[in-house]
Structure formats: C-alpha cells, structure tokens
A and B are shown apart, each in its own frame.
Chain A
Amino acid sequence: MTTTLAVVLLIYFAMVLGIALYSHARTRTEVDFLAAGRSIGPVVGGAVLAATQISAGTVVGTLGRHYLTGVSWWWIWLGVWAGWLCSAFFVAPQLRRFGALTVPDYVGARFGSERVRAMAALLIIVSNCIYLVAQFQASGEIARAVFGVPPLAAILVVVASTALYSMLGGVRSSSYIEFVQALIMVVGLAVAIPVLLDRIGGIGTSIDFLRSLDPRLLGWYYGPKEIAAFGISFSFAIAVSPYEMTRYYSMRDERTVKQAIAVSIGFQVLIGLSVLALGLFTRVLFPTLPSEDQASSVMAYEVLPPLVSALLLVAMLSAIMSTVNSVLLVTGASVSHDLYGKFVRPDATDRELVRWNRIGILVLSIIPVVFALQRLGNVQAIVVAQTKFVASFFFTPVVIGLNWRRGTAAGAVAAMLGGFLACLLWELTGQKSFARHGIDAVEVGVLTSLVLFFTVSWLTKPVEEGKLRVFFPR
C-alpha cells in the first residue's frame, strides 16, 4: 500500500512540475501570470472553479461534518449553489467585462478610490490567511492519519510544493493542474462508494445502524435557523469570493464565464453527493474516530483498494494544494498589484510586480502555518468562520456596488469595515448563545454592511459618471 501511494504521489508531483515548467515558459507579462493570458475555456474553467471550491473544507471538513452530524449538513450546498448563481448573473459578467486583474482592481475602479482598493486588499489578505489555516490543518490531519507523521512535516511539504508551482507558472499552470485534480477527485470519490457498501453489506444495513446509533444522523442534527445561517454564509461568500472571482478574469469572455459556472455546479453536485454518502458510510464502518477531520483519510487509507486509495489521497492533497494555490495567487496579487504597485511604486515594471507577487506568496504562505499548528477548531468550523467574514465585508460592496450606481467610496469603506467588525464582535460575543437568540454573526455582519452602505452612500457625493460607464453602460 505504502509503495503504491509513493509511486502515485511521485507520478503526480512529476506531472505538476511538468505543467508548472511548461506554463513558466509561456509566462512573460503580468496578464499572463495573473490571468493566463485570458485563454481559459468553459470545461477547464468549470473544473478549475470546482477544484477551487472543493477544498480541504470539502474533502476533510464537509465529509467529517457528515460523519459527525449526518445528512442535514447537505442543505448547505443549496446555499453554495445559490451563491454561484448570484455570481453568474450579478457579478461575473460585469467583472469579466471590466477586465481587471484583481478584485481590488474592480473595487478601486468602481468607487473611484484608491482608499477602497487598499482596504479591500487588506481584508482579502486577512480572510485568506484564515482560509489557509483550514487548508494546512487538513493536510496535517491527513498526514497524521495516513503516515503517522507530525502535522508540521505535511504542512511544510504542501506549502513548499504549492508555493513553488504558484510562483513558477501563475494562473495558467494552476488552471491545468486543477482541471486534472477535479477529474481525479470525482473518479476517486465515486469509486469509493461501492467499495464501502461492499464492506458494510448494503444501504439498508447502514440506514438501520445509523438510525439506531443517533436518529439525528438521518434527520435534523441542525435546526432550520442554523442551516439558514450557514447557507447565508456560504451563499454570500461564494458570490463574491475573491479567489473564485479572480478565475473569471482568466476566461475568454463573459459567455465562457457563465458556461464555466454551470460546468462547475455539475462537478459540485457529483462531489457533494459522494461526500455525503462517504461521510455516512465511514460512520458505519468506523463509528468512533478521535476526530471527525480524520474520517476522509481513514476511509481512504484503511478501506479502499490500494490504487484507488492512493489516487483519492492524492486528490485530497491536491484539492488542498489547489485551494492554497488559488488563495496564494489572490493574496500575492493583493500585495504586488494592489498595494506595492499602486501605493509603493506606481511606476513598477511588469517584471518587478511579478517578483513582488512571488515574495508575497512566500511570506503569506508561512503565517497561517503557525495558527494551523495550534488547532483552533475543526477544519469545517474554520472554513465557516472565513466565509462569514468574506460575506460580511465583501458581499455588499461587490454585489450591490455592481448593480446600484448610487453607491459611493465612503459607503463602500463603511460597509466593508462595519460589516467585518460587526461579524467579528458578534462571533466573539453573541455567537455563544445562538441556541437562545438564533441570530448568527454573518446575519449581523451583512445587515450592518448593507445599512451602512446605503446610508453613507446617500449622504455622500456620487461617483463621477465617467468612472461608472464601464459598469453601467446605459
């Protein structure tokens, strides 16, 4: 088993390196590095969006959450897909038409303010660091469950290899690598289901066992208010997720973006259903694990045939790497393009910006490692916390800002800052008594952000018509 895994890992990393070197040879300008020369089509684009979405939060966190709480967590996917549809109709076409390189590019141009751009860049860096903590923690869990090695070793391997291919080839290499990852993931997860059923003895046995173990596993572990709050978090965050939106810029045109989102939802339906089934069947086969975050790696390593097991473990690691890669690209771009290139050296050359991007990627991939080693919560809980912050500070300025011309720079700053702080304060205080009041931090954050955006925008001077023409053609 270990030999098979080692061989599959070697082949996979050789392929990743090959694609990265090939892309490096074709990367000459900042547009090549950050937007793959705007050449990505709908199928590769859709798989890339799915692979970016299907992170450690899904293969480790969501599978673990199904293992622990059962079926009801699946309803969260409806929120995820609602977010994608919102993005497809109200965000992606406008952003692609604008043709920026980064999300703060859009925010700065839409509100005609460099201050807004800087704040967006900083908040993106903070929220991305939280997201990276979850990814690194997941890789540590896999390493501990499969190889019995300390989490730090696995985290460092993931950081080093991902930072390498992010720095070498930019968005082009990551797009092709993620396409392959998405395919491996779908095949690996789908093949795992009949194997688990063969071990257990069938669906009927599993249902009877789970119902007797804890009736909530097949019913409602979470109440409707909790499901709604989680759904809002994912929906609003996905609609404006900076690392997903950056992918739109690499696609050929607006039509390609919409097609890619449809392809991506198809991939996600398959993966979501597989993850639900595997979480439940793993609970039947191993009812007591030390942590729900180990469910996916224990399932892959202990139950599956050697080759499928190796492929699925590689797919899980690669899902983590692809998300880390996407997040690092966005974070690096925030450092080089939005902060260094706009505030430190506005006359910086393309070569200099790419260098600063790579420095940003390197530095910002190390900070979350420290937090990942502290195990601040389980993987899914960290992902949920990050989505709450993104939804609270970014949903209003992006979605409302793209569709309401009266929004102003002061309104956007107030919305981002107010939404972020309201969510943070509620998370640190009111969240503890959710069962009593039923109000989640994301609801408080988004509502605060909306109120501030409309109020402050009405009270301040509108953005000049000339600056709005690209976003509101008529």
Chain B
Amino acid sequence: MIFAAVELRSAAIDVTLSADRATIVATYRFAGPGLAPEFVLIRLPAQRIAGLAANEGRTTEATGLVRITARPDSAGAVVIRYEVRGTLDRIPLPVPSIATARGARTIEIRLEGLAPTVDLDDAFPRLKAEANHAVAVLANVPSVIRLPEPGRWSLIRTIDRLVIALVAAASLLWFVQFRRTRAPAA
C-alpha cells in the first residue's frame, strides 16, 4: 500500500461548517496505470456520517473506519461527498491508499464557516486565514481535521510555554552547576 507505483497528484478538500453539520466535498486526482484507489474514513465518537457518495463507489463499514472503493473518471479524478453530524470538534477525511510523490505539497484543505473568534494556532492541520475561509496546504492527506474551538483552553500554547520554561530551568541549572564545579576550593 505504501509503495504504490501510481501516485496521488493533488487533492482539494472543501469543508463547509454549519451549526449542526459539516459538509465535505473532496476531489482527488490520481496518475498512473490501473488505478483502483481505496479510501479509509476514520470513525470518531459521537459522530454520524451521512449521504456518503463517490464515483461508482462502494462502502464497507468496520469498527474503526469506513472503507470506500471508487473508480476514477477518465481524467483520473475521484469526488467523494458526505456530511458529518453530531460533535463537530474533529472532521474525518477520506485518505486514499495511494500516496503523493515525496515532498510535493499538493493537498489543499479549505474550511468555511469557522467562528471568527477562534484561534487558528490550535487547529490541525496548520490553517491560514484568508478572505472568508481558512486554508491548509500539506504533502499528505490527514485522516482528521482538528477544529479550533472558541474559548477553549489551548493545548498547543500551553505545551510551547511549558517547553520554554523547561529549557530556561535546565539552562539555569546547568549554569549553576557549571559555576559550582569551576569555583575554586575554599
């Protein structure tokens, strides 16, 4: 699966958020002979996937994921549409079994409908604010989008501050120890 001869050229994943649902339209473009991509869609607690549709697609449900097999059109594209209902702190994304070429950052995720007050630093993948939406550009398709929540305690900021404090404390300790070992005996 990891060393597939064919490759994922690009992906454009549009996520539109509303009060009770997220609507996802994901377009994948593949290149190479004999394409038969399989997608996996992670199942998250307190969520329901509805209206799942793909080009000539078939779905199989397992405990932790939904498998989707689809046939690309003549241009090598597969479009998958679905809605996520329930708790919307994370949005599952279909990940194809075919990887991108090494290092090529051709996966674009667009999010519309985020509350304007949210802290984008808390999101995964890293989002950049644009006119009326947020965009993330990656080299590989992630299985999940972690949405920032307004007023939520920021894990990312806390960890960054914790690390700065740790480095400062360690440097201070090192300096004190260094001075003690270099000090002349009384």
Binding site for A on B (CB under 8 A): 1-3, 40, 42-45, 62-65, 89-90, 95-103, 105, 121, 124-126, 138-144, 146, 155-157, 159-160, 162-164, 166, 170
When A201-B90, A209-B65 are in contact, do A291 and B103 touch as well, CB less than 8 Å?
Answer: no
Q: Which residues of A contact B157 (CB under 8 A)?
A: 305
Known: A194-B155, A285-B144, A305-B160. 20 other contacts (CB 8 A): A68-B2, A144-B102, A145-B103, A187-B163, A201-B44, A204-B45, A205-B45, A205-B64, A208-B63, A209-B42, A284-B42, A286-B95, A287-B95, A288-B2, A288-B95, A290-B99, A302-B125, A302-B139, A303-B124, A307-B164
Q: Which residues of A contact B170 (CB under 8 A)?
A: 183
**How far, in angstroms, from A289 to B42 measured CA to CA in the complex?**
16
Q: Which of B105, B124, B141, B163 contacts A199 (CB 8 A)?
A: B124
**How far, in angstroms, from A287 to B93 measured CA to CA in the complex?**
11
Q: Is the CB of B102 within 8 A of A290?
A: yes
30 contacts between A and B (CB under 8 A): A144-B103, A145-B139, A183-B170, A194-B155, A200-B143, A200-B144, A201-B44, A204-B45, A208-B43, A208-B63, A209-B42, A209-B143, A213-B40, A285-B144, A286-B142, A287-B95, A288-B95, A288-B96, A288-B99, A288-B140, A289-B99, A291-B2, A302-B125, A302-B140, A305-B121, A305-B157, A305-B159, A307-B163, A308-B160, A311-B163
Give how many A residues have a beta carbon under 8 Å from the other chain's beta carbons. Answer: 42
List A residues 179-214 near B (Cβ within 8 Å): 183, 187, 191, 194-195, 198-202, 204-205, 207-213
Q: Is the CB of B143 within 8 A of A290?
A: no
Q: Is the CB of B62 within 8 A of A298?
A: no
Q: Which residues of A contact B146 (CB under 8 A)?
A: 198-199
List A residues 85-119 near B (Cβ within 8 Å): none
Interface residue A127 (Cβ < 8 Å from any Cβ of B): no
Q: Is the CB of A289 within 8 A of B2?
A: yes
Q: Is the CB of A291 within 8 A of B102?
A: yes
Binding site for B on A (CB under 8 A): 1, 68, 144-145, 148, 183, 187, 191, 194-195, 198-202, 204-205, 207-213, 284-292, 294, 298, 302-303, 305-308, 311
Shortest distance in angstroms between A448's beta carbon and chain B's nearest beta carbon? 34
Shortest distance in angstroms between A82's beta carbon and chain B's nearest beta carbon? 31
When A205-B42, A286-B142 are in contact, do A1 and B126 touch as well, CB less than 8 Å?
Answer: yes
Q: Is the CB of A288 within 8 A of B63?
A: no
Q: Which residues of A contact B141 (CB under 8 A)?
A: 286, 288
Q: Is the CB of B159 within 8 A of A288?
A: no
Q: Is the CB of B103 within 8 A of A212?
A: no
Shortest distance in angstroms between A5's beta carbon and chain B's nearest beta carbon? 13
Q: Which residues of B contact A194 (CB under 8 A)?
A: 155, 159
**How far, in angstroms, from A144 to B104 measured CA to CA in the complex?**
9
**How far, in angstroms, from A120 to B84 measured CA to CA in the complex?**
64
**How far, in angstroms, from A212 to B156 measured CA to CA in the complex?**
30
**How far, in angstroms, from A148 to B137 measured CA to CA in the complex?**
14
Closest 5 pairs between A and B when the two form their complex, measured CB to CB = A208-B64, A212-B62, A209-B64, A212-B64, A305-B156
Q: Is the CB of A290 within 8 A of B163?
A: no
**How far, in angstroms, from A207 to B64 measured CA to CA in the complex?**
8
Q: Is the CB of A289 within 8 A of B140?
A: yes
Q: Which residues of B contact A289 (CB under 8 A)?
A: 2, 99, 140
Q: Is the CB of A284 within 8 A of B140?
A: no
**How far, in angstroms, from A435 to B62 measured CA to CA in the complex?**
30
Residue of A nearest to B158 (CB): A305
Q: Which residues of B contact A201 (CB under 8 A)?
A: 44-45, 89-90, 144
**How far, in angstroms, from A402 to B130 measured CA to CA in the complex?**
68
Q: Which residues of B contact A68 (CB under 8 A)?
A: 2
Q: Which residues of A contact B64 (CB under 8 A)?
A: 205, 207-213
Residue of B nearest to A211 (CB): B64
**How far, in angstroms, from A147 to B83 measured CA to CA in the complex?**
35
**How far, in angstroms, from A148 to B105 measured CA to CA in the complex?**
9
Q: Which residues of A contact B159 (CB under 8 A)?
A: 191, 194-195, 305, 308
